[in-house]
Amino acid sequence: MRRPLKKKHTIKADPVYGSENVTKLINYIMERGKKDTARKIVYQAFEELKGKDGKEDPIVLFDTAIKNVAPLMEVRSRRVGGANYQVPREVRPERRLSLALRWIIEAAKSRKGNEMYKRLAEEIKKAANEEGDAVTKRINTHKMADANKAFAHFAW
């Protein structure tokens, strides 16, 4: 008999921008339960993304950045006959989003110098233009999957 499916936790859309992805970004940035601090960082970064004239939509830039960073393929380890193989697999949409957000935040944190909101805004801009550390990470992941496609028949 099959196990019942888990009910998925739904995340409420962000009150300022009306986007679930912004809420997820805030939750990923949050450390030690300090959600208000995480909100300030994200909202300041989005204000920075608007630009001096205030005409650019930060949500469009953010969604483009996520689309450019999200990986389509990744490698997973699979043990077959005493050997470990890196088997390329397609990435589920939920994981694709979480990896993209994680990589953008990781790239922003790794930069030194400015405040976090400036680094985050800069990384989102770069990712939207298909450059930066987060996009490099996606490219490396795709290269790894492509190099190991000979082991695709081990996929489960």
Give residue-wise pLDDT tens across range 76-106: 888 888 888 888 889 999 999 999 999 999 9
Residue 148 has pLDDT above 70, yes or no: yes
Task: Note the pLDDT of residue 65.
Answer: 95
Looking at this protein, which amino acid is placed at residue 38?
A
Nearest to 63, CA basis, from 106, 14, 9: 14
d(CA 90, CA 63): 21
Band (pLDDT 50/70/90 cuts) for residue 150 is confident
Cα(55)–Cα(67) distance, integer angstroms: 22
Tell me, what's the pLDDT at 156? 67
Position 128 pLDDT exceeds 90: yes
What residue ranges define each of the domains in the chain, with the CATH number in brackets? 20-72+91-136 (1.10.455.10)
Q: List all residues 6 or more positions away from 110 whose beta carbon is below 8 Å from its beta carbon.
A: 133
| pTM to 2 decimal places | 0.88
pLDDT attached to residue 34: 96
